[in-house]
Structures are given as C-alpha cells and as structure tokens.
C-alpha cells in the first residue's frame, strides 16, 4: 500500500500546500490520506532544491533521467525513496540499477525486454527485488510510451512469472498533455487494474495506480490514484517548456 509523505520537519510552503490539497482530495473521495504517496518530481532541479524539500520532511522523490539521478544520489541522504518516472532506455538499465542503491521503484516498465533487463540487472548486484509499475499508454498517442491497454495483462503475467527479481506493484500512466481527456485516461488505467487483478488472482488493493501530476493530481486521487507525481507545484516552474513527464 502506498504511504503518505513524512512531514516531521515542517513542510515548506509549496510542499505544505500540496499535502493539504492531497488531504482534501482524499477526504472528498472518502479515502485515507495514508493510502496516497506523493512523489516529488524533481527533474532538472538542483540538489539544493531537493535538499530543502527533504529538510521539510519529505522522503519520496522522482527523477526522469538516469544520468541526472545518478549524479544527484551521492549528494543527498541515503534514506530517500527514489522513483524512476521517466522513459527508461534499454541501454541505461544496468547503469540505473547499479548506480542507485536506494532505488525503490521503476514506474515505467513498458515491454518484456525492459523487464528482462531489469530482472537480470537486479540479480547481478544481489539486491532485494525491485518494485516496478507497468506504464500504460491510456491516451493512445503515438508520442507516448507505455504498453497498449489490451496488452497490459500479458506484460504483467510475464513480470510475475518470468522475472523473479522484480516485484510488480501497480500501473502508471501519463495521460494527455493538455489534460483534455484526463478522466478517460484515468478510467482506462483503473479498468486495466481490474482486468489485471482478475487475471492474476490478486485483490485490487495490491495493485497501485500511479496517475496524476501538478495539473490533475486532485482529480487523480478522487479517481483512485495511490501515487501522484508532483513537480511544478512543489519546486516551481522549470526553465524550459514542460513535457508530459512532469
């Protein structure tokens, strides 16, 4: 089950505002806020900005680029729960697994080849099973990564039966950049979860949903998301045009 952010140090104003909005969205939908994880999406932000959010009590951060993550890890405390939330290139899998000892989740597994590479990389370094999400292309856009909804169950079965060093934890989606189809995208992911859990014989609460970013995380929570990836609302605007991985 997802966990909420830690706030022992007293959140900074932007982080506090996000956590309050998460709380309110959870209350509106009759959910326990402890079921919801907030991933601070920190790509292209300096280590000093991450340290400030860490000092405010937050421990869960998400990065989109392997090299950037590897460079940041040694400069920050080792009790951070790192999520890799960007597109993972096959030739970067070994580098990611070996270079981030406290890598907690890879949220963007989208084909069997990548799952196999991650499985072998984890086995090679002898760490505990790596938690993974399967990325689903719920918007049907060719510019997006992710497995097609119709093929989702096949990929999940492969991970569960053929990748002993991976722990399947849930499904992830980005949705459309202009948010015009947000409810439909989130509903598609929820439907994928229902189909997957039926096929795998597991309860739905054992399959998390990672959906929702700065512009739509409250709606995502109301529609069942257990992980939201929030960047701009916590760290402020980036210095280049935002892409869908926000």
241 within domain boundaries = no
Other CB atoms within a 10 A radius of the CB of residue 55 amount to 12
Helix (H), strand (E) at residue 169: strand 166-172
The CATH number given to whatever domain includes residue 52 is: 3.20.20.10
Residue 183 lies in a domain: yes
With bands split at pLDDT 50, 70 and 90, how would you rate the model's confidence at 176?
confident
| Residue 2 clears pLDDT 70, i.e. is over it | no
In a domain, 243, yes or no: no
Q: Note the pLDDT of residue 155.
A: 98
Beta-carbon contacts of 189 under 8 Å, excluding residues fewer than 6 positions away, are 136, 138, 171, 172, 173, 209, 211
Q: Tell me what the mean pLDDT of segment 5-16 comes to.
A: 68
Query: pLDDT tens, 189-226?
Result: 999 999 999 999 999 999 999 999 999 999 999 999 99
Q: What is the pLDDT of residue 243?
A: 43
Q: Is residue 17 part of a domain?
A: yes
What is the span of the domain harbouring residue 38? 13-235
Domains of the chain: total = 1
pLDDT at residue number 179:
63
**Within a domain: 18:** yes
Across the range 154-159, mean pLDDT stands at 98
Flag whether 4 is in a domain: no
CA 146 to chain centre: 13
Which positions ≥6 away from 160 have C-beta within 8 Å? 168, 200
**122 in a domain, yes or no?**
yes
Q: Which two tokens stand for residue 157?
A: 């079965």
Does 240 fall in a domain?
no
Question: 210 and 60 in contact (C-beta within 8 Å)?
Answer: no
Mean pLDDT computed over 53-80: 97
């Amino acid at each position: 089950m997802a966990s909420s952010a830690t706030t022992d140090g007293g959140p900074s104003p932007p982080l506090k505002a996000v956590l309050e909005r998460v709380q309110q969205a959870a209350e509106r939908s009759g959910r326990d806020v402890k079921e919801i994880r907030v991933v601070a999406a920190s790509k292209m932000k300096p280590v000093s900005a991450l340290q400030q959010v860490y000092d405010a009590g937050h421990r869960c951060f998400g990065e989109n680029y392997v090299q950037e993550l590897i460079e940041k890890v040694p400069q920050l405390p080792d009790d951070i729960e790192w999520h890799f939330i960007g597109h993972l290139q096959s030739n970067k899998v070994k580098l990611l697994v070996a270079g981030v000892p406290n890598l907690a989740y890879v949220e963007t597994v989208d084909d069997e080849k990548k799952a196999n590479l991650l499985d072998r990389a984890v086995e090679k370094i002898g760490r505990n099973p790596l938690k993974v999400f399967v990325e689903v292309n719920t918007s049907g856009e060719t510019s997006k990564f992710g497995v097609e909804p119709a093929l989702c169950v096949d990929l999940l079965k492969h991970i569960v039966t053929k990748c002993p060093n991976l722990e399947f934890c849930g499904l992830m989606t980005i949705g459309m950049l202009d948010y015009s189809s947000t409810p439909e995208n989130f509903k598609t992911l929820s439907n994928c979860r229902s189909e997957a859990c039926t096929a795998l014989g597991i309860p739905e609460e054992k399959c998390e949903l990672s959906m929702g970013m700065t512009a739509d995380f409250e709606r995502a929570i109301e529609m069942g998301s257990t992980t939201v990836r929030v960047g701009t609302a916590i760290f402020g605007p980036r210095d280049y045009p935002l892409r869908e991985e926000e």
